[in-house]
Amino acid sequence: MSLSALPSQLYLCSQIRQAELAMVQSTDVSLLQLVERAAHCAATTLSALCSLDKVLLLAGSGNNGSDALLMASLLTRRNIDCLVLRVQANRYSDEHLAVMDMLSKTQVRVDELNESTLTKALGEYDIVVDGLLGSGIQGIPRKDMMTYIDMVNRAGRFVFSLDIPSGIDADTGRIVGRAIAADATLCLGAVKRGLLTCDARDCCGQLYFGDIGLAPFLPDAAAVSCDLNLLTEKLPPRRRNSHKGSHGKVCVVGGDRGMVGAVRLASEACLRAGAGLVCVISRQEHLPLVCASRPELMFHGCELVDMEAYHKLGWADVLVVGPGLGTDDWGYNLMKAVALANKPILLDADGLNLLASEADYSDMRVITPHPAEAARLLDCSTAEVQNDRFAAAQKLQQIYGGVVVLKGAGTIIYDGNTLCVAPVGNPGLASGGCGDVLSGIIGALMAQGLDLMSAAVAGVIIHGGAADLAAASGERGMLATDLMTGIRKLVNPCMIQD
């Protein structure tokens, strides 16, 4: 998914509809003229993407269908073979009817959409324009519409979706029943926030933006997106006279028996992300495993929480707590000691599971749950979290405070004021230990002086960006350790070449 040409402001569908109405009410632009602008953007974008010969356009009863109809007219004038298959409905939008009247005076071929006509057309046309369902979808699509979606997905044609892939909830990103799997999606007027997270990450393909003049009428954005461009602002070159004490001290706490790999990964990621000094508190028996392969790490063996453990916690500027911690007495007692340290904390993994059992509120921490951990923290199902990831992140912050990083496809970061979506990374991150690496990165950035929200957002971008670099060798089989080289590159953005 490319964000290179997309605005960073993300909106709810209701905000975009209000902006359209405001534009119509305060200017001489009509809704039909907005359809004309959208169709022009769509025709221009598709022409730039593909060599057009034969184009099949699927038109629903709303204004996505209107866009498709008028787009067909524009392409036909360029001598492109176009066929429109139009949904039969009891009611069409006024703009749809107006466009149909305009098309009656042209050479555009419009036929009824049904299984027979769609089967025949998919055998003849190599490009499909999806204008079936728009952002106003409510509830599961009709059975016939889901059948058409399935037929398009099975056909293996290049699919270009207008505004959103049909069947995607544009506010949440989830699939409603069935959804078109597009190769490219043109966001018209404004970018819907749901297109950057959840199921939409599977369905949108490449994202593009079509400017139809709504910007002056849009309210404050519901969310913002972020990408690698943020790193130059947040990570300027280091001062020449700095030293290891200038870049923060981090204590990584975790690694119960059988889980030393988690704390080892988090601590190395912490170093790679630029922390000056990193100390690991773990089981004494893990000293050789932690330090033999990474001698730059310091280590404190802890079987019981003693004064030396409290000293190490007090020494640190930032605590990263939870990777491999476990939820038995050893991990529980360390969590209690961490609470007494009164330091900024990155809490992950078993730290989150312990927090779920004894909830409290703190503005001095970042929590990084994946959907299942978020469900435990909210006492709900994972499906409920995924049904509206934005709402889940907001609720987590209201209950637990600080900054919430809700991991997943299109990670969501929220601090009580700003909702941020980071559509970075790839499925290669679906591998054990990658979350521990993220914890170490964010902890290191906190220790280097970034505020909690900036550290969380930059950490997610670095983590996902490192995965994208590692994916050059393939997504399947990617290991958490494969991210380390990319982390070092990305925390030095002044060295990144376009």
pLDDT for 368-378, tens place per residue? Answer: 999 999 999 99
pLDDT confidence bin for 4, thresholds 50/70/90: very low
pLDDT confidence bin for 135, thresholds 50/70/90: confident
State what percent of residues in the chain have pLDDT above 90: 86
Q: Quick check: 263 and 323 in contact, CB under 8 A? A: yes
* 360: its two tokens: 């409290």
Q: What confidence score (pLDDT) does residue 497 get?
A: 56
Look at residue 1 and tell me whether its pLDDT is greater than 60. no
Complete edge-to-edge strand list for the sheet that includes strand 109-112 = 109-112, 81-86, 54-59, 127-131, 158-162, 184-188, 206-210
* 307: its two tokens: 């004064």
DSSP H/E element including 291 = helix 287-291
Look at residue 3 and tell me whether its pLDDT is greater than 50. no
Domains of the chain: 9-222 (3.40.50.10260), 230-495 (3.40.1190.20)
Query: Within its chain, how far is the Cα of 24 from the centroid?
Result: 32
Q: Quick check: 131 and 64 in contact, CB under 8 A? A: yes
Q: What confidence score (pLDDT) does residue 2 get?
A: 44
How many CB atoms are located within 10 Å of the residue 476 CB? Answer: 9
Q: Quick check: 436 and 463 in contact, CB under 8 A? A: no
CA distances from 266 to 180, 290, 344, 482 (A): 38, 11, 16, 13
What is the C-alpha to C-alpha distance for residues 64 and 41, in angstroms, rounded to an integer?
13
pLDDT confidence bin for 494, thresholds 50/70/90: confident
* 416: its two tokens: 């009580």
Q: Where are the beta strands (DSSP E) in 271-317?
A: 277-282, 298-301
DSSP H/E element including 488 = helix 484-490
Tokens 């919430």 -> residue: 404
- Dmax over Cα atoms in the chain, in whole Å? 87
Of the candidates 124, 131, 192, 200, the one whose C-alpha atom is nearest the C-alpha of residue 160 is 131
Q: Which residues contact 2 (CB under 8 A, 6 or more apart)?
A: 206, 207
Mean pLDDT of the chain: 94
Q: Where are the beta strands (DSSP E) in 283-402?
A: 298-301, 318-321, 345-347, 365-367
Query: What residue type is assigned to position 266 of the chain?
Result: A
Q: Quick check: 331 and 359 in contact, CB under 8 A? A: no
State what percent of residues in the chain have pLDDT above 70: 98
The torsion defined by the Cα of 114, 120, 124 and 125, in degrees rounded to 10, comes to: 10
pLDDT confidence bin for 89, thresholds 50/70/90: confident
Q: What confidence score (pLDDT) does residue 496 get?
A: 66
Q: Quick check: 316 and 251 in contact, CB under 8 A? A: yes
Q: What confidence score (pLDDT) does residue 201 get?
A: 95
Stated pTM of the model: 0.94
* Alpha helices by DSSP H, 388-448: 389-400, 434-447
| Residue with more model confidence, 139 or 169 | 169
Helix (H, G, I), strand (E, B) or coil at 375: helix
What is the C-alpha to C-alpha distance for residues 301 and 198, in angstroms, rounded to an integer?
41
Looking only at the bridges linking them, the beta strands covering 411-414 and 298-301 are unpaired
Tokens 């699919």 -> residue: 159
Tell me how long the chain is.
Answer: 498
pLDDT for 247-298, tens place per residue? Answer: 999 999 999 999 999 999 999 999 999 999 999 999 999 999 999 889 999 9
Query: What residue type is assigned to position 211 of the chain?
Result: D
CA distances from 300 to 41, 279, 285, 348 (A): 61, 7, 10, 20
Q: What are phi and psi of 111, to 5 degrees?
A: -130, 165
| Residue with more model confidence, 462 or 239 | 462
End-to-end CA distance of the chain: 17
Look at residue 463 and tell me whether its pLDDT is greater than 70. yes
CA distances from 43 to 16, 74, 483 (A): 22, 7, 40
How many CB atoms are located within 10 Å of the residue 269 CB? Answer: 34
How many alpha carbons lie under 13 Å from residue 223 in its C-beta half-sphere?
32
pLDDT for 385-406, tens place per residue? Answer: 999 999 999 999 999 999 999 9
